[in-house]
Chains A and B, each alone.
Chain A
């Protein structure tokens, strides 16, 4: 059986379903026999899920306005040069 440390080192690939089927079977066997690793695996999976559902990021309005104005100036200058 895998040790908990070995299980944890493969956790990211396991959650992303990137392991070979042989390793995946070993990892699955480990969590059916180790309640702690089952909890870590389950709560890490939920961690990723809650962040996926996070509100889309926002940009402060003043930052947005300055960016648009600056880009507009650049484009105008580039057109003048051309």
Chain B
């Protein structure tokens, strides 16, 4: 882990979450801090994915947790706290984008490219364990750079769905997209990442060849 960075806990099975929310609703700041520590890293990454600006992302992070605290009574506990706050953070991040380009409504989908992004450039089998060829730091760099090369909408859908482990329906809800829209963006994101990673992970001796 990089020095000067604070790790965040995984999102899975926070069985204590309802209890933490209940305590935070009664004004228990310590309980709310636990929720912050658990999700701040993911929310900051999400904000960076959308705004691509560190200062804006920090604002989004703070505003998302302020809003969450102020509206805790609206959290019913029928979804994960993370799914709930993601929706707040996405709205905040889109507001930032709108402010930056003050003349029109912005959706995450506006930059979508429907033609060329399904093209498969490389078809080559990978090593059975591609991770073993690289150190942990190198792997993280490869994976991060590949994700950073995607359009924000693909990056956001892929991160929520495949990295954070939200369901397709939860991702659709958080991003205000339809389920089919999430699926098609997820497919494009996965294929583009696969294409980018093939350069690093393909079996030695296999040549890439043009396809489709």
Total number of residue pairs linking A and B with CB closer than 8 Å: 135
Known: A39-B123, A44-B190. A57 touches B62 (CB 8 A): no
Q: Are B58 and A66 in contact (CB under 8 A)?
A: yes
Interface size class of chain A, counting residues whose CB lies under 8 Å from the partner chain:
35 or more
- Chain A residues with Cβ below 8 Å from B70 are 78
Q: How far is the CA of A72 from the CA of B36 in the complex (A)?
A: 11
**Chain B interface residue bracket vs A:** 35 or more
- B residues in contact with A43, CB < 8 Å: 124-126, 194, 197-198, 201
Q: Which residue of B lies closest to A44 (CB)?
A: B194
Residue among B9, B44, B70, B158 with the highest chain A CB neighbour number at 10 A: B44
Cβ–Cβ contact A67 & B118, under 8 A: no
Residues of B within 8 A of A66 (CB): 58, 62
Smallest Cβ-Cβ distance to B188: which chain A residue: A12
The reply to whether B125 and A39 contact each other, CB–CB distance below 8 Å, is yes
Q: Which of A55, A62, A67, A75 contacts B40 (CB 8 A)?
A: A67
Contact A58:B118 (CB < 8 A) given known A63-B44, A75-B29? no
Interface residues of A (CB under 8 A from B): 4-5, 8-9, 11-13, 15-16, 36, 39-40, 42-44, 46-48, 50-64, 66-68, 70-72, 74-75, 78-79, 82
In the complex with contacts A43-B125, A46-B126, A54-B140, A74-B66 CB distance below 8 A:
yes
Pick 23 A–B contacts, CB within 8 A, sort by A.
A4-B212, A8-B118, A8-B120, A9-B187, A43-B124, A43-B198, A47-B197, A53-B131, A54-B140, A56-B8, A57-B41, A58-B1, A58-B7, A58-B8, A62-B4, A66-B62, A67-B65, A70-B62, A70-B66, A71-B33, A71-B62, A75-B29, A79-B27
| Chain B positions near chain A (C-beta within 8 angstroms) | 1-2, 4-10, 27, 29, 32-33, 36, 40-42, 44-45, 58, 61-62, 65-66, 69-70, 118, 120, 123-126, 130-131, 136, 139-140, 143, 147, 158, 162-163, 168, 183, 186-187, 190-191, 193-194, 197-198, 201, 211-212
What 14 new A-B contacts, CB under 8 Å, besides A16-B168, A47-B193, A78-B27?
Answer: A12-B183, A12-B186, A39-B124, A47-B197, A51-B147, A58-B5, A60-B4, A60-B5, A63-B44, A68-B36, A71-B66, A71-B69, A74-B66, A78-B70
